[in-house]
Structure 1
Amino acid sequence: MTPPPLRRGLSALAALAALTTMATAHSAAADAPAGTVTDQSPATSAFGVAGAATVDRITYWTRDSSDRPMLSSALVFLPQGAPPPGGRAIVAWDHGTMGVAEKCAPSAMGLDDDHYTELFSRWLADGYAVVATDYIGLGTPGPHAYLDGHAEAHATVDSVRAARAVEPGLSTRWAVVGHSQGGQAAMFTAASATSYAPELDYRGGAAYAPGASAVDLMTVLGRPGLPKVLPPDMNAYAAYALLGLQAARPDFDLDSYLTPFGRDIVARARQLCLDELIAETADVNVSDMLARPLDDGEFPVLAHPLMDIPTTGYDRPLLIAQGAVDADVPAPMVWNLEAQLVGQGTRVEMRNYPGDDHESLLATAAPDVDGFLAQVLR
């Protein structure tokens, strides 16, 4: 129904006021240091994490990969007891794929993985604070640039800055750990943490099944007419990756790569969290989504610099844990990354787990990651 003229006028004024407020906020943010906190409140629950004395949700300013000010959010978990002299060391956590819609953020829907809650509980028991970013656009308005590693790294480092701004008992000593998408984010973070935040004492990074060579995989298999070869999870990852590139580079002509069917799937991906999207796309063939190959045109040119894990820049200890039977992040892709890192002179500790997949790896490799953290954060 068409609104009466007065209501239309009020709607236009409201929209103008909202745009003015947003522009004012971003103008102010241009002068606010990265990590500046805009909001802090108790989280609605402990999200199943045993041993947390408090869990707060914070919103803070960070920068995207084009160096524009953006809001991100994070959960800050503190352990029981008084902080030690010098403050608590911090474990910054980068989560795996949950979706691109704001509702899919860990701070909104919970950690969504029993393995994650167990890891957090272990780290809290060891006396660390845990800071878990949502990334830009998850938990805050605006699109989430899925697999934009530079934006993920900024959000991670700035979550540590923000947590220290609101919790005086936190040390400058910190390390990063991530899984899957978060493993990729942790690698980007590890490659830039010292230069991006020299005032912090970054000690090292650990990545469970980092999302390596995602662009290469998509350009090889992303072409019309190929038979269905990808497991169901990959359909969802592909849709999110296309949306992530468009979020990071708005001039990317996504529609030119998609069939009408593909546009429908991508539209659903904007709204659905991972488990929902996997269920909806279980029988989808990615090639049916594509009107032309992904290795054609601007997709690889734009995607490689944003999504390819760096092979240089690591100035602190680095651990990679990989399951040999992982179907979500195939082990050969990560082994190839290891070879590239070694070829560039990067010292990396690679741990392979022959019987583990994408999820079971988290429990099997946890003692090794815990030992790594104890060594670098001491």
Structure 2
Amino acid sequence: MMCTRFIAGTAGVVVSMALALAPPASAQSADGPGTVTNLAELTGRFRVAGAATAERMTYWSRGPRGPMLSTGAVYLPPGPPPPGGWPMVAYAHGTTGIADQCAFTSEPRTYYLNSLYPQLLEAGYAVVISDYVGLGTPGTHPYLDGPSQARSLIDGVRAAKAIAPALGTRWAVLGQSQGAHAALFTAHLAPADAPELSLRGAAATGAPANLDLALPLAGPWIPRLPLDRTTAYLAMLLAGLRASAPELDVDGYLTPTGLDALRVVESECVEQANARLADVSIGAMLAKPLDDPALVAAAAAMLRIPTDGYTVPLFIGQGLADAQVPAPLTAKLIAELRLSGTDLEAHVYRGDHIGTVDEAQPDVMTFLRRVLGPVQ
């Protein structure tokens, strides 16, 4: 591993009763962000070794155009909570797809349940997971919409505190890939958005950075690229943008092949969608360039990771062999964060997009201990 560090400047108490069902997400909810509408115990393959309690919750959050529901999960460490309550790590997951059945907590995810979550619990951190708005809940998931995914995480922490009095206010956010993008937006938004909580830092591996710069260059001339899943990723992004900003007429940019690609990603999870779209180039999807100023501005608001204005420390990990998030894009992000004076710890690893997760984990745990402080 190569590493550079830049710096400027009563346990397990959970309400187990089912709460009232939520109104349709299309309605304006009278309940505030983080209001829990349903709660159920997680059993069987969803259990985590070392977790005193495991609960799946549905709660109100905020999508691109107003209130939306999200689901998530909460795992508490065993034993009595420390003074002030258990600190939390909000885990922001990577891309699963945008169809409802792709919600992260709806299928057991072995790596996280058997490896990552037990490490966090053993360290004394409660684990809070968000599926993000529109995944398994009404509406289309706005894929890579950084602000709404950040609010899903923030409101998930609010919801966790509402159902688990043993939780404190200290928390950090950890994310991979799509979740890394969401984690960095969370670090930027949460201190002002949720001042009642004490966000201490954000760790991100494989963050898709600077994608907004590439979008206006896309058009019918783009061939198949030597990267993984690019067609599926673009189709998911455009499907989410079509749902959240219908005035942009996303369909008007698409060929029949492109319209079919959006139907695929709206009905299948990312692995299956990628298999069906593996031989489809981005150019074959597009009838004209994606360079309309209104479209470019809307995409930038979703995609562009802020490069200044952070008040909490950041950790960024990048794999040199990453074929989904190329290292040069992350290098630009790191350089801009460094120039802005952000408290930044940056690590470069030799692995690919997924391999970097394991390589980075010891450094991530060290970072979390640094920002969250001791668990008494």
Under a length normalisation based on structure 2, what TM-score does the superposition of the two structures give?
A: 0.89
User: Is 1:370 paired with 2:372?
Assistant: no
2:265 aligns with 269
1:32 aligns with 31
Residues of 2 paired with 1:226 and 1:164: CA distance? 47
User: Is 1:85 paired with 2:80?
Assistant: no
User: Is 1:256 paired with 2:252?
Assistant: yes
What does the per-residue CA deviation read over 1:92-113, in whole Å, with 9 as the maximum and x for residues that have no partner? 01100111111100111233x6
Residues 359 and 187 of structure 1, relative CA distance in 2, 3 Å threshold = same
The one-letter code of the counterpart of 2:106 is A
Residues of 1 paired with 2:205 and 2:47: CA distance? 21
Residues of 1 paired with 2:56 and 2:27: CA distance? 21
| C-alpha deviation, 1:305, in angstroms | 1.3
2:198 aligns with 201
2:170 aligns with 173
User: Is 1:308 paired with 2:307?
Assistant: no
Work out which of the residue numbers 24, 28, 36 in structure 2 matches 1:22: 24
User: Is 1:352 paired with 2:348?
Assistant: yes
Residues of 1 paired with 2:312 and 2:228: CA distance? 36
- Structure 2: gaps of 5 or more residues: 1-22
Residues 116 and 212 of structure 1, relative CA distance in 2, 3 Å threshold = farther
The answer on whether the counterparts of 2:175 and 2:182 sit within 8 Å (CA) in structure 1 is yes
The answer on whether the counterparts of 1:232 and 1:283 sit within 8 Å (CA) in structure 2 is no
In the TM superposition, 1:109-124 aligns within 5 A as 109-111=107-109, 114=111, 117-124=114-121
1:284 aligns with 280
2:6 aligns with none
Residues of 2 paired with 1:288 and 1:305: CA distance? 26
Provide the secondary structure at the position in 1 that maps to 2:246: coil
The one-letter code of the counterpart of 2:236 is Y
Structure with greater helix share of residues: 1
Residues of 2 paired with 1:132 and 1:46: CA distance? 16
| C-alpha deviation, 1:51, in angstroms | 2.3
Runs of 4+ in structure 1 over 4 Å off: none
Residues 36 and 252 of structure 1, relative CA distance in 2, 3 Å threshold = same
Work out which of the residue numbers 339, 342, 359 in structure 1 matches 2:338: 342
Residues of 1 paired with 2:50 and 2:353: CA distance? 26
User: Is 1:64 paired with 2:63?
Assistant: yes
Aligned pairs, how many? 352
Residues of 1 paired with 2:353 and 2:209: CA distance? 13
Residues of 1 paired with 2:314 and 2:177: CA distance? 16
Provide the secondary structure at the position in 2 that maps to 1:142: coil
The one-letter code of the counterpart of 1:75 is A
Provide the secondary structure at the position in 2 that maps to 1:365: helix
The answer on whether the counterparts of 1:48 and 1:117 sit within 8 Å (CA) in structure 2 is no
Residues of 1 paired with 2:176 and 2:130: CA distance? 13
Q: For the aligned residues, what is the CA RMSD?
A: 1.8
Provide the secondary structure at the position in 1 that maps to 2:291: coil
The answer on whether the counterparts of 2:92 and 2:129 sit within 8 Å (CA) in structure 1 is yes
Residues of 1 paired with 2:246 and 2:151: CA distance? 19
Residues of 1 paired with 2:277 and 2:93: CA distance? 22
Residues of 2 paired with 1:149 and 1:122: CA distance? 27
| Structure exhibiting the larger radius of gyration computed from Cα positions | 1
Residues 346 and 292 of structure 1, relative CA distance in 2, 3 Å threshold = same
Residues 90 and 46 of structure 1, relative CA distance in 2, 3 Å threshold = farther
In the TM superposition, 1:141-160 aligns within 5 A as 141-160=138-157
Provide the secondary structure at the position in 2 that maps to 1:121: helix
| C-alpha deviation, 1:46, in angstroms | 4.4
Residues of 2 paired with 1:366 and 1:22: CA distance? 39
User: Is 1:135 paired with 2:137?
Assistant: no
Residues 261 and 204 of structure 1, relative CA distance in 2, 3 Å threshold = same
The answer on whether the counterparts of 1:49 and 1:118 sit within 8 Å (CA) in structure 2 is no
| C-alpha deviation, 1:361, in angstroms | 0.6
Once the two structures are overlaid, the 10-residue window that deviates more, 246-255 or 356-365, is: 246-255
| C-alpha deviation, 1:62, in angstroms | 1.3
Residues of 1 paired with 2:135 and 2:32: CA distance? 21
The one-letter code of the counterpart of 1:62 is S
Residues of 2 paired with 1:289 and 1:258: CA distance? 6
Provide the secondary structure at the position in 2 that maps to 1:26: coil
What does the per-residue CA deviation read over 1:55-93, in whole Å, with 9 as the maximum and x for residues that have no partner? 211111111234x11111111112222222221100001
